[in-house]
Structures are given as C-alpha cells and as structure tokens.
Amino acid sequence: MAGKALRDQGAKVLEDGNDGRADVVIFEHRRPDDLDLSIAEDLFAVVGRTTGKGSAHKIAARLFDERRWQEGFDAAKRQGSRVGAATGFRVIARVLSEQGFKRTDLRGEVAEVVGRWRPRWRVKDPADVEVWVLEVRRQTFVAAIRISSPEMRSRGGRAVELEGSLRPVVAAALVKSALRPTGLLFDPFCGSGTILGEARGVGWSVRGLDIEPAAVEAARANFPGIEVMVGDAADLPLADEEAAAIVTNAPFGVQHVPRTGGRALGEWWRLVLAEFRRVVRTGGTVIILHPEDPTFARALKAESGLQLRHKIPIRTLGRSAVIWSLARSSPPETGP
C-alpha cells in the first residue's frame, strides 16, 4: 500500500517488498518534503547500496561512500538531529538470514567504518543519529541514515495506552482507504481512539463506539472533543445511511476476543456486517482490519449489500491481517 501511495505522488519506487523486506519501500523523489508520508513510520536517506556475496567486513566497506554519507547526515541535521564534530551514533543492522554472517557482525563492521571516518564520534544508545543497514532482498544491502523524528512514528503519543493498541501508521492507512473525507466516519470498535484521531486530523467528522468502558474512557482521554460511547457493534446507535464510512480495527487474536453476547461467532459477524450495511450510505465505504479467517469470510460473503473492492495484506502486532475495503452497494432493507 505504501508503494502505491508513493507512485500516485510521482515517486519512483525501487524496492517494494516482493521477495525481500515487506516493511521497507525504497523510492526516489525530487522533492521528498512534498510527499504525503502519513502511512510511513520512519523516513531514511539512502547513502549506500551493494549487491553480491561477501563478508560483513567487505559489505560494510562497499556500502561506504563519503559524499553520500555526508549528504545523509546533513539531511538528518536539517530534520533536527544533533550532528556535529562529536556526535553519538548508533548502528542498526537487519539481515534476511544469518548463514553468511550474523547481523551483530555487520553492525560492528559498519560502526568501525563510521568511527574511522569520524574519530570523535562515539557509539551510544540512544543516539543523536542512527545508521541502518538492511538486507532488503537476498544479498542486496542498503545503508541509510534515519532522518525522521520519533514523533513521526508515535504521532506524539497517547495519553492512555491500552495493550494491543493500533499503531498510528496503520490507523492512517485504514483512514486513507476510506478515500475523501465527506461526512461522518464511524468506528464501532474504537479502542483507544487511534482511528478516530487520524480521521479527524484529515477532515472527517468522527464518532466512535466500543463495548469496553475502559476503552471508551481511554479514547476520550486521548482525543478530547470526539464523541465516543459504550455500545454493541451488533446494534449501532446510528440512523439508516447516516455514516459516509465505517473504518475499524475489528477484534481478533488473543488480546482482543470479540464480545458476541453469547452468540456463535459466525452469527455475530452476520449481525455486525448487516448493521454496517444499514448505517452506511449507498456508495459509502466500509474498511475493516481483520485476518482472513473462514468464519469472517463466510459472513462477509453472505452480506450481499457490501461488495469487496480490494484487500491488502498487512502484518500488525506480530500477526497477519488484511485491510478489507468494501463498498455499500444497495439501500437498507425495509419492512413490509
């Protein structure tokens, strides 16, 4: 999804997962400051690239180019990193396999390269600047300087943290999937309110619901002024076609088990999806983050009023999931 978003903004995407690191997108753009990076957690300036076999020592040496590395550290300085004559730095290394050498070996060799280039710099953790070395695909290594601030990932943090809360960047991706902000966006499993906060930030009118009172209190504390209430997603407090979009991180996994009110899970999902179809206006969108499990898939197939537009695989909280993008295709059912 990140690669497509960058292409839509005129960037040339060089690496986008495939058989390598699915969490890294490498791109070129003439004016990166103009990019919408709302679904990026970190931004790096690429300063070196090498392909082929070699020891950790040889890989580190091939990655070093003084001019490009200086440009990378200058970019980090412009973004607020403290880069000077005496600087604390940290090296992070990630490899796809440790059969040739360990990532700690690569980390040490790159630290040696930086130390020889800048003798007054010292390894620290945390550090003023970070050098990352990633094996982005088999035997292809990239060196990059982190130029984003910690706030880019955390969005400034949340006043109240709940276990298993949605990462802000994932919430931003879900909201972006709902297209243009044109009315009410409703989150029926709002948790600590992250989706609501991201949606309000881009212009949606927002409201939320959660069956857990503690979650509702957390959402109210994290995002004052947003209307959030306790309630059941199988019985939504909205009129027919009141919402332009539903965007939600549905409960799944060990930490978040659906509260079904004693119903079988499949029956509960059919009720929930029928409510989504009822309250979303014709032509509106329903965006659900949930794994591709058989019970959910059968319930979704049975709800003919919600048509699948596309689905995007994603990994969050250590689990595989899917962003399901649905379109409301039919008006609500009426009584006789």
What are 177-222's pLDDT values in tens digits?
998 888 999 999 999 999 999 999 999 999 999 999 999 999 999 9
Alpha helices in the chain (DSSP H): 2-8, 56-63, 66-78, 103-117, 150-154, 168-177, 194-201, 213-222, 265-279, 294-302
CA angle, 181 then 184 then 185, to 5°: 75
Question: What residues does CATH 3.30.2130.30 cover in the chain?
Answer: 41-152
Q: Which residue has the tokens 């070395």?
A: 133
Q: How far is it, in rounded angstroms, from Cα 24 to Cα 58?
A: 23
Q: How far is it, in rounded angstroms, from Cα 88 to Cα 68?
A: 19
Average pLDDT in the 265-273 region? 96
Amino acid (one-letter) located at 79: Q
What is the pLDDT, as a whole number, of residue 244? 97
Domain 41-152 architecture: 2-Layer Sandwich (3.30)
What is the pLDDT, as a whole number, of residue 306? 95
What is the pLDDT, as a whole number, of residue 18? 62
From 3.80.30.20, 3.40.50.1470, 3.40.50.150, 3.60.15.10, which CATH number describes the 155-328 domain?
3.40.50.150
Cβ neighbours of residue 153 closer than 8 Å, sequence gap 6 or more: 41, 42, 167, 168, 169
What is the pLDDT, as a whole number, of residue 336? 45
What is the pLDDT, as a whole number, of residue 164? 72
Looking at per-residue pLDDT, the higher value among 75 and 228 belongs to 228
Question: What residues does CATH 3.40.50.150 cover in the chain?
Answer: 155-328
Residue 163 and residue 215 in contact, taking contact as beta carbons nearer than 8 Å: no
The pLDDT of residue 4 is above 70:
no
Q: How far is CA 81 from the centre of its chain?
A: 24
Mean pLDDT of the chain: 88
Q: How far is it, in rounded angstroms, from Cα 115 to Cα 119?
A: 5
